[in-house]
Amino acid sequence: MRLQFVGCGDAFGSGGRFNTCFHVTGERVNFLIDCGASSLPALKRLGIVRDDIDLILITHFHGDHFGGLPFLLLDAQFTRRTRPLVIAGPQGIETKLQSLMEALFEHSSKTKQRFDLSIIALTQEESRTFGAVKVTPYQVDHGKSGGPFLAYRIEASGRIITYSADTEWTETLIPAARDADLFIAEAYYYDKIVKNHLSLKTLEAHLPEIGAKRLILTHMSDDMLARVDSLGYTTASDGMVVEL
């Protein structure tokens, strides 16, 4: 299996990075994790065939994780996509997506697509299977607007990938990422403790009990980006590929 960071930036384009979007492919899987506002141009820049994507998992409703869906869906319509597409995310995703579509492209939410589009609301700690992908969401803690907030533990091709989503430290990250082959974790600041976001030093204190086999830091602010060469951890960059 292969994961490519299509975008690993924050909401503010820190470091000129694209919003969050990861592309996972394997023998029987092809899906995205998050689709931020800039994700369609980022996917096109990497030459990723959108028609082959079967599933998009959304962690929460902030624009840098969710805001790219209207562009992607319109592009799919105009390029005459026929392959079914599943978009799964937190409770309320159907109405959130509808109002986002209407805000950005009036009447677009009512367009009859040529392809089957399923919008599925996920519940924390209830596993769902989409083709060869098993997804278990865990509730995380990222403030009062834009939620519910879900981290994902994803099993596919005999591997486990966990993505923390945006969150301050919460104990649910331990079962979500325990023994994962790859744990992609937000590290917004180095050691500054803020509400709603995770700092590397806080995360570091919990790494032994998580026991993930590989860690890659993402969603970094300028504070973290200035330190990437001296952190001693792998940090994501746009376009980076991880083989699993």
**Pairing mode, strands 2-7 and 21-25:** antiparallel
Minimum CB distance to Zn ion, residue 26 (Å): 26
Q: Please tell me whether residue 135 adopts helix, strand or coil conformation.
A: strand
Strand partners, 38: none
- Contact call for residue 62 and Zn ion (CB under 5 A): yes
- Within 107-166, the residues that bind Zn ion by CB under 5 A are 166
Contacting residue, 34, 64, 155, 238, with Zn ion by CB under 5 A: 64
89/95 Cα distance (integer angstroms): 12
Residues 6+ apart with CB under 8 A from 220: 8, 10, 14, 15, 187, 188, 228, 235
Q: How far is the CB of 166 from Zn ion (least distance, A)?
A: 4
On the CB side of 165, CA atoms within 13 Å amount to 35
Q: How far is the CB of 10 from Zn ion (least distance, A)?
A: 6
Query: Is residue 34 a contact point for Zn ion (CB under 5 A)?
Result: no
In the complex with Zn ion, the residue whose CB is nearer, 61 or 71, is: 61
Q: Judged by CB under 5 A, does residue 197 bind Zn ion?
A: no
At 141, phi and psi to the nearest 5?
A: -120, 100
- Taking the complex as a whole, the smallest distance from the CB of residue 64 to Zn ion amounts, in Å, to 4
Select 23 or 62, whichever has its Cβ closest to Zn ion: 62
Q: What distance in Å separates the CA atoms of residue 121 and residue 151, rounded to the nearest whole number?
A: 14
Q: CA angle at residue 56 from 54 to 62, to 5 degrees?
A: 165
Q: How far is the CB of 225 from Zn ion (least distance, A)?
A: 15
Contact region with Zn ion (CB under 5 A), list: 40-48, 57-65, 167-175, 177-185: 57-65
Place of tokens 């996917």: 43
Shorter beta-carbon distance to Zn ion: residue 64 or 155: 64
Pairing of strands 55-57, 30-33: parallel
Subset of 219-238 contacting Zn ion (CB under 5 A): none
Nearer to Zn ion, 166 or 238 (CB): 166
Q: How far is the CB of 169 from Zn ion (least distance, A)?
A: 15
Binding site for Zn ion (CB under 5 A): 62, 64, 166
